[in-house]
Amino acid sequence: MDWVGFLLRRKLVTLDILCRLKDAFSARAHGKISHDELAFRAAAIYADSLSGSHCECISKEAMQFIDQDRCKILPLSLEIIRYFQAQKLQVVVVSGAPHEVISCYRKLYGLSEIHGLQLETKSGIYTGNIVENPGISAGKREVVSEMLAAKTGSIVVAMGNSDSDMPLFDAAKVKIVVNNPSVRTAGACLHLNGTMDLHHVLDWLCMELPAFGSAKSWFRLGGGSKKGQPID
């Protein structure tokens, strides 16, 4: 929604597109549609909004967008990513967010791999069609299957906030559910909320995955901040 609002202010999409997206999110908030249906509708609306636009132009706008959007990311999430990277884990993002935006975050935070909403282009122009939508559970399941088939490692930790993330949760050794108590998974799971700090999360991870070592050592070596401040 924020990204589309940004494009609207840049006069790259129409107000009608934003209204259609708001209607879809409202239907989800009132329990009228599932998260999968929301991700499906939102992707179709977004693809339609950019039909005929130059992909190079949108990619350049995405770089400007994250300058103002990055402050909205939970500082705790960034600290967790930093911890995973220090543990030599590959951080892979599988999301229904547009690929153009996620690509910018990949460069900013050194993400190992990304899978985002990918739109079809021909001769540098968006066609209005969708190539890949990892926002829905079927899309996430396909990504998981490809990762496991590559046999380059196992899925150690999965973080998500909706039922559409179940393929990721099912494949991971431990799960972290962010701000959504309605999501229920099997096995070791931490429900992350606004009252938890990095100490809490790392203590839990080190208990469930002893190979990670000591969370206290992580702080003592200067790897983490006690209050989860943003990473510079």
In a domain, residue 232? The reply is no
In a domain, residue 97? The reply is yes
Judge contact between 112 and 130, C-beta under 8 A.
Answer: no
Nearest-angstrom CA–CA distance, 39 and 132: 12
Query: Residue 79's pLDDT is what?
Result: 87
- Counting other chains too, the contacts that 107-115 makes at CB distance below 8 Å and 24 or more residues apart are 108/66, 108/70, 109/78, 109/81, 109/231, 110/85, 111/81, 115/139, 115/143
209: domain CATH number is: 3.40.50.1000
In a domain, residue 136? The reply is yes
Nearest-angstrom CA–CA distance, 78 and 134: 21
Judge contact between 100 and 7, C-beta under 8 A.
Answer: no
Q: How far is CA 74 from the centre of its chain?
A: 12
In a domain, residue 231? The reply is no
User: Over the chain (232 residues), what is each successive 10-residue block's mean pLDDT?
Assistant: 93 94 95 95 96 96 93 84 87 94 94 95 97 95 90 84 93 90 88 83 85 52 41 32
In a domain, residue 34? The reply is yes
**Domain count of the chain?**
1
Judge contact between 161 and 178, C-beta under 8 A.
Answer: yes
Query: Residue 214's pLDDT is what?
Result: 53
Q: Which domain holds residue 187?
A: 2-220
In a domain, residue 49? The reply is yes
Q: In what order do the strands lie in the sheet with 92-98?
A: 92-98, 113-122, 125-132
Q: Map tokens 């968006």 to a residue.
A: 126
In a domain, residue 225? The reply is no
Q: For the stretch 58-92, what's the b/e string if a residue is b when 16 or more beta carbons lie within 10 angstroms of its beta carbon?
A: beebbeebbeebeeebebbebbbbbbbbebeeebb
In a domain, residue 229? The reply is no
